[in-house]
Structure 1
Amino acid sequence: MKHITILAPDYQTNIATVACVAGAYEIFSQANEYYKSNGGREFYVIEIAGVNNNTPLAGGLFSVRTHTLIAQVHKTNLIIIPSLASNFEKAEKSNIDLVNWIGQQYKNGSEVATMCSGAFMLASAGLLHGKNCSTHWNYADKFRSLFPDVNLQAHELITDEDGIYTNGGAYSFLNLVLYLVEKYYDRPTAIFCSKIFQIELDRQSQSPFIIFKGQKQHGDEMVKKAQAYIESQSAARISVNSLSEQFSIGRRNFDRRFIKATGNTPIEYAQRVRIERAKKSFESTRKTINEVMYEVGYADLKAFRQVFKKFTGVSPLAYRRKYNKDGKGE
């Protein structure tokens, strides 16, 4: 019989941790029952494991009675790491036993899945070096600063590489669980769970949910000044050559420093600033697509649509219809 282990960390937990542990346990349990009732043979023992028998979560607001201790789990097929709280710098020290156990289990052939900010624990275990990874878009800058050797794909809802699964933010962990149900059981079981728990199947991106704030958690003061200038001129055409001249630096060196600090080229950064402004306008006003396009500095509708979809995953019209209750047709 195969085994799925859902971790209950002792530290850095929050209410989302509780939701991840409970949600994963409930959905996998339902998948087990459905799969068995339809003649499936390779179902799973599903256990919540930790370093203590009774684990406090979210500052003691909740607690979970674990089925077993990690020291007693010598072999498991899948480990699930739930969301964690935001004080990630301490995660490795406070959860050192879990981190070491995860690393050893992965070496022994276990697969590992992380939910939301649980990716920080996985990265602390050294298992994401050189690999693609996702986490909550709101933690992307912090993650990049702590783990620059990981290929963070903040727009992706789920990544799947070498037996390691990661996912985007907050309650999108439900989409990851469905993805894993299909992997570990089959498509009909995933569809059944999707319908029972009313979770959208096959979501691929968290781009429509990203709020672009500008990557400011870096120490390059020149780049910060350039960012501030781009943000202040969001409706104007930006000349990167002129901008680099303002700071008395060559264009190639300017681009290199900007990309290193923000993860975007200066042009991409300006595009993201404009698109974020357009999103807010679509959410809160009754302006037409053309009015918003001109407002944020675009004159070509095709180009605007292409850039908008690049960063949000949807068209301007679809975005407005989704987030503005008055947003009907154009």
Structure 2
Amino acid sequence: MKQVTIVVPECRVNMNTIGGAFDILNQANEYWMRSGNDAAIEVRIAGFVSEQRSHSEYLSIHPISIDTINNTDLVLIPAPLSDHENAIKNNQQLIEWIRVQYENGAEVASMCAGGFLLAATGLLNGKRCSIHWNAIKDFKQLFPEVEVAGEKIITAEKGLYTNGGAYSFLNLILYLVEKLFDRTTAVYCSKFYQIDIERHSQSPFTIFDLQKGHDDALIGEAQVYIEEHIDAKISFEQLAKTLAISRRNFDRRFIRATGDTPVAYLQRVKIEAAKKELEKGQKTVFEVMLDVGYADDKAFREVFKKITGLSPTAYRNKYNAVVLN
């Protein structure tokens, strides 16, 4: 029987990641036994803290002492809700415990922002990691040696598993259920909890934040110009000249300030505007394409799918407002 340990950090955590993982894994084990098999796993919730309360104080968890666990086959790290740097600072003992468990043969999976604690072990250096799209910038600053797979729902590499944001941890748990049991059990849990088992990308859920968290006033001015002229054909050569800077320096400063080239930034601004129009459902894909400055239908669809993971039509069908009778 494999031992699964859900650890409880000393900081505010997303209690749903703890409870959800615990419930699904135990349901999988019960289904497995109903099918005539012996129990495959034992799930424990453990930590260096004796109690963990939810941020609104209406729920509490009383983990067993992590010192009582001599060995484990799988470690699950829930998502901290507090400041990530402080969460890392306040959980050095737990971080070291996780690292030692991995070195002793355990696999480790982080749920959502739990990736910050996993990365703090150093185990992800040189490997890929998925993290909530809204936390990618902070994650990259803290862990430049980790390759961020921002579009992925799940990454799996050398016994280390991560997932994207929020409730996509459910997809990670289904993935682990299939590893611990089999595909049939994972499909059963998918149906029982009504989780889409085939989600592979978090790109459709990403909201572009316009990358204004820098102090380069000239690039900020360029960003405003781009955002106000998404329906026009922008010449970055001319824009750089207007801002009294060479094109080469303009590109260099733009990338340093935003993390994107001017062309990539323009594409993301256009596609974000297109997404909002498609969500309203009042215009055709062709009309939306023209509104955001594309004249080539093929080019628009290719860029849209590259950024969102869906075609414009599929995106509109998925997110456009639906009135229920």
Aligned with 2:124: secondary structure?
coil
Q: Residues 121-178 of structure 1: CA distance to partner in whole angstroms, max 9, x if unpaired? A: 1122222222211111112222222222221122111111121111111111111100
Alpha-carbon distance change, 28 to 127 in structure 1, aligned in 2, over 3 angstroms? same
- Once the two structures are superposed, what CA deviation does each residue of 1:252-295 show, in whole Å capped at 9, x if it has no partner? 45434433443322211110100000111111251111111110
Could you tell me whether the CA contact under 8 Å between 1:115 and 1:167 is conserved in 2? Answer: yes
Distance in 1, Cα, partners of 2:231 & 2:322: 25
In the alignment, which of 191, 195, 199 is matched to residue 191 of structure 2? 195
Give every structure 1 segment of 4 or more consecutive aligned residues whose post-TM-superposition deviation is greater than 6 Å: none
| 1:177 pairs with 2:173 | yes
Aligned to 2:44, what secondary structure does the other structure show? Answer: strand
Q: 1:8 maps to which residue?
A: 8
Aligned partner of 1:6: which letter? Answer: I
Equivalence for 1:30: 27
Partner residue in 1 for 2:58: 61
Separation of aligned partners in 2, 1:137 and 1:227: 21
User: Kindly tell me: are residues 130 and 262 of structure 1, through their superposed partners in 2, closer, same or farther at Cα, counting changes over 3 Å?
Assistant: farther
Q: SS state of the match for residue 116, structure 1?
A: coil
Q: Verify the 8 A CA contact 1:70 1:101 in the aligned structure 2.
A: no
More deviation, 245-254/156-165: 245-254
Amino acid at match of 1:65: H
TM-score (normalizing by structure 1): 0.90
Match of 2:40 among 31, 39, 43: 43
Gaps of 5+ in 2: none
Supply the distance in 1 between the matched residues of 2:209 and 2:176 (Cα, whole angstroms): 32
TM-score where L is the length of structure 2:
0.92
Superposed, 1:1-330 pairs within 5 Å as 1-13=1-13, 17-41=14-38, 43-58=40-55, 60-66=57-63, 68-325=64-321
Question: Number of paired residues?
Answer: 323
8 Å CA contact retained: 2:281, 2:321: no
Distance 1:125 1:217 in 2: 28
Go from structure 1 to structure 2 and tell me whether the alpha carbon gap of 1:141 and 1:262 turns closer, same or farther (over 3 Å shift): same
Distance 1:323 1:273, change over 3 A: same
Q: Using the alignment, how far apart are the partners of 2:240 and 2:12 within structure 1?
A: 42
Q: Which amino acid is the alignment partner of residue 62 of structure 2?
A: R
Give the Å deviation of 1:216: 3.0
Cα contact 1:179–1:202 (8 A) shared by 2: no
Equivalent-residue separation in structure 1 for 2:196 and 2:145 (angstroms): 32
**Unaligned 5+ runs, structure 1:** none
Name the CA distance, whole Å, in 2 between partners of 1:164 and 1:181.
Answer: 15
Shift in Å, 1:89 = 1.9
Aligned residues: percent identity? 51
Paired residues of 1:286 and 1:326 also in contact (CA < 8 A): no
Letter in 2 for 1:55: Q
Give the whole-Å Cα distance in 1 for the aligned partners of 2:235 and 2:130: 32
Partner SS state of residue 162, structure 2: strand
RMSD, matched Cα = 2.1
Larger mean CA deviation between 255-264 and 268-277 belongs to 255-264
Out of 176-185 and 83-92, give the one that drifted further.
Answer: 83-92
Classify 1:3/1:102 alpha carbon distance in 2 versus 1 (closer, same or farther; 3 Å): same
